[in-house]
């Protein structure tokens, strides 16, 4: 610190460190594993039909989505896949910036979710990134989704909450 410069404890300099990267990668890996294991289970267990958890309100039902969120943009899988690769690259770049723990966990969840759905696009189709994403959680009042979608949603909520916190809070 320069002589005469005011000291602001809330504005301490932060640098990304190995532990931040390790946390983000661990969270992302956990999200990917949960997503892929549950999709493998869903493809086998739900092939014969849905499992009703709460009547017709919440059920586990196997669906395949070749589009984006809420089954929009059907048939645009390759474009969505390329966009997901871009999101993964952006998150990896963002992890090289100083971040708070809530932001690291949020980015790790979004990263894991994006990779989880990207794996479906890569390995569940015949062409370039055209595989459908396996969805299996089907509330009657909301479009079907999966573990990767849940990780992305929770990650975005954490990032928004982190954005509302004053700088210096960790």
**41-81: pLDDT as tens digits:** 999 999 999 999 998 899 999 999 987 776 677 778 888 99
pLDDT of the residue at 60: 97
List the chain residues with pLDDT less than 70: 1-16, 70-71, 167-170
Domain ranges of the chain: 18-164
Tell me which residues are annotated as active site.
135, 149
pLDDT of the residue at 167: 64
pLDDT of the residue at 14: 55
pLDDT of the residue at 147: 97
Question: Mapped to the 3 state alphabet, what secondary structure does the chain carry?
Answer: CCCCCCCCHHHCCCCCCHHHHHHHHHHHHHHHHHHHHHHHHHHHHCCCCCEEEECCCEEEEEEEECCCHHHCCCCCHHHHHHHHHHHHHHHHHHCCCCCCHHHHHHHHHHHHHHHHHHHHHHHCCCCCCCCCEEEEEEECCCCCECHHHHHHHHHHHHHHHHHHCCCCCC
pLDDT of the residue at 56: 84
């Amino acid at each position: 610190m320069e002589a005469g410069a005011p000291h602001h404890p809330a504005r301490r300099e932060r640098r990304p460190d190995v532990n931040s990267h390790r946390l983000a990668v661990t969270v992302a890996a956990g999200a990917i594993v949960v997503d892929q294991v549950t999709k493998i289970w869903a493809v086998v267990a739900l092939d014969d039909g849905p499992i009703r958890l709460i009547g017709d309100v919440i059920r586990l039902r196997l669906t395949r989505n070749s589009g984006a969120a809420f089954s929009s943009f059907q048939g645009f899988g390759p474009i969505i896949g390329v966009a997901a690769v871009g999101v993964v690259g952006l998150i990896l770049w963002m992890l090289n910036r100083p971040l708070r723990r809530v932001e690291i966990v949020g980015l790790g969840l979004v990263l894991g979710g994006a990779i989880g759905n990207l794996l479906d696009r890569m390995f569940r189709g015949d062409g370039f990134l055209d595989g459908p994403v396996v969805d299996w959680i089907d509330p009657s009042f909301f479009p079907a989704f999966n573990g990767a979608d849940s990780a992305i949603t929770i990650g975005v909520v954490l990032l928004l909450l982190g954005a509302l916190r004053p700088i210096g809070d960790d």
